Chain A
Amino acid sequence: MNLTNEDRELLDRHFEHDLTDQEETIFQQKLTDDEAFRQAFRLRELIHERVEVFGAAQLKESLKSQLSAMREETEITDEQVEIEEIPVRSLYDTISAARWMIAASIVAVIAAGILFLHNRSDAPDGAAIATQDDTKTENPVSGGQVPAPSYGGTDTYTSAYPIATDQSQQVAEAVLIIDESRTAAAYRVSPDTLFVYYPQDIYAETLRLTDDENTVILQINEDRYRLNLSDNDTEQPLMPLE
């Protein structure tokens, strides 16, 4: 592969995308006619390919070491502040618990109904009417029910977290729903469950609620949001705290 300096120049400038149209024609002609030139060109192609592989491996190592450093840093921080790890429960458990509660409620209502019918057959007419009126005002399903969130689709997945106060006492269940079809983060409060909808992938290490003089603040990792708990079961935008 003995090349003239002109040939080398031609090859170099070809790979630097620096040839004029006329030079490009000469280059293509040489590639067809000159075997040594063609071999030198193929070797260059191979070198470029290996440089790309080399560069990719280097970049990967560099990115990987950043992740390792982040992990080590987090491990040190965790040791220093001794944060108790909050176990993550699956949504299945939450729904399952809810189903049990619904089932228990239905059994309770049926039992109450049987008792009521039994009492009515024993009681005088006036008393029976009064009991019937009282029953009408009662909610047939007892409290504590956790409604299942609407979720589904390929870009949606869900995790449930016990949500804690600053004193690490579990006060509610927070269900984090990653839904990439959404454009903004939102939340919904049900009697004992806080549903948080996120438009992009996050991994919540910690979820905390703090009550700061009538303002309830939700903290997800480092980000803090103001919550309005008075409007139950209505989806509201998640407003970040300044």
Chain B
Amino acid sequence: MIKDRDIIDQIKAGKYEVLSQLNRHFPSVRKYVLSNSGAIEDAEDVFSEAQVIFYQKVLSDAYQYNGEGKIGGFLYVTSKNLWMKKLTRPAPMMAPVAETDTLDSGDPLEDLSGALDEILYALGDPCAAILTFFYFHRLDMLTIAQKVGYKNKETVKVKKRQCIQTIEKALPAAQKETLKEYLYELDQRRPGAPGSAL
């Protein structure tokens, strides 16, 4: 059985596949969710979310190694909190939403984020993979090159920059205008920010 210390080291070395080793901690979460009005799918949902939270904490050095056997406790408590939050969250109103409404929430940042999410989902590989490896998994260019089958890190760098430009170009003109207005407002609100009026 792989040790906690090794799991953390492997994550930091870019081997995020090691996360599947944490599945051994799932049964206690399953037991908890099942005995608290949840289904097995709910248990799988909160546990996988807890795994991602753990992963992001390790990558950002926010997870402190406190000795062996503690990751299981972290995952259990996080899953438990996630499940409690889901249980206490009021059920959403089931009003039908028209498809055209999806990009018009009234909140410019939310609209922009929604537009970017749609572009990202439609982007496909290798762009989606390269950007995810770089910004989410924080892998270095050489490791990304090996993972996506590119010759060297320079090729990845060029491709990554092209992908960013593709996203920027794909952003609808209306969204660019919204972005402009939003950024202007943001600048005005930020004390001490570059270009701030305050």
Binding site for B on A (CB under 8 A): 1, 8, 12, 16, 31-32, 35, 38-40, 42-44, 46-56, 58-61, 63-64, 66-68, 70-71, 155, 180, 199-203, 205
CB-nearest residue of chain A relative to B176?
A: A1
Q: Evaluate contact between A54 and B128: CB separation under 8 angstroms.
A: yes
Q: Evaluate contact between B52 and A201: CB separation under 8 angstroms.
A: no
CB of B168, distance to nearest CB on chain A (Å): 7
- Cβ of B179 under 8 Å from chain A: yes
Q: Evaluate contact between A201 and B76: CB separation under 8 angstroms.
A: yes
Q: Which of B30, B161, B183 contacts A38 (CB 8 A)?
A: B183
Chain A residues, Cβ within 8 Å of B40: 71
CB-nearest residue of chain B relative to A183?
A: B68
- State the main secondary structure of chain B at its contact with A: helix
- Number of cross-chain contacts by CB at 8 Å: 123
Q: State whether A55 and B179 are in contact (beta carbons under 8 Å apart), knowing that A8-B161, A50-B113 are contacts in the complex.
A: no
Bound form: Cα–Cα A50–B122 in Å: 13
Q: Evaluate contact between A66 and B20: CB separation under 8 angstroms.
A: yes
Chain B residues, Cβ within 8 Å of A49: 113
Q: Evaluate contact between B69 and A54: CB separation under 8 angstroms.
A: no
Q: Evaluate contact between B194 and A43: CB separation under 8 angstroms.
A: no
Q: Evaluate contact between B52 and A56: CB separation under 8 angstroms.
A: yes
Binding site for A on B (CB under 8 A): 16, 19-20, 23-28, 30-31, 40-41, 44-45, 47-49, 51-52, 55-56, 68-70, 72-73, 76, 112-113, 116-117, 120-121, 128, 131-132, 135-137, 141, 157, 160-161, 164-165, 167-168, 171, 176, 179-180, 183, 186-187, 194-195
Q: Evaluate contact between B23 and A70: CB separation under 8 angstroms.
A: yes
Chain A residues, Cβ within 8 Å of B186: 42
Bound form: Cα–Cα A71–B40 in Å: 9
Q: Evaluate contact between A67 and B48: CB separation under 8 angstroms.
A: yes
Bound form: Cα–Cα A70–B76 in Å: 19
14 contacts between A and B (CB under 8 A): A8-B165, A32-B194, A38-B195, A42-B179, A46-B112, A47-B116, A47-B164, A51-B131, A53-B117, A59-B19, A63-B52, A70-B23, A201-B73, A203-B27
Bound form: Cα–Cα A139–B44 in Å: 52
Q: Evaluate contact between A203 and B31: CB separation under 8 angstroms.
A: yes
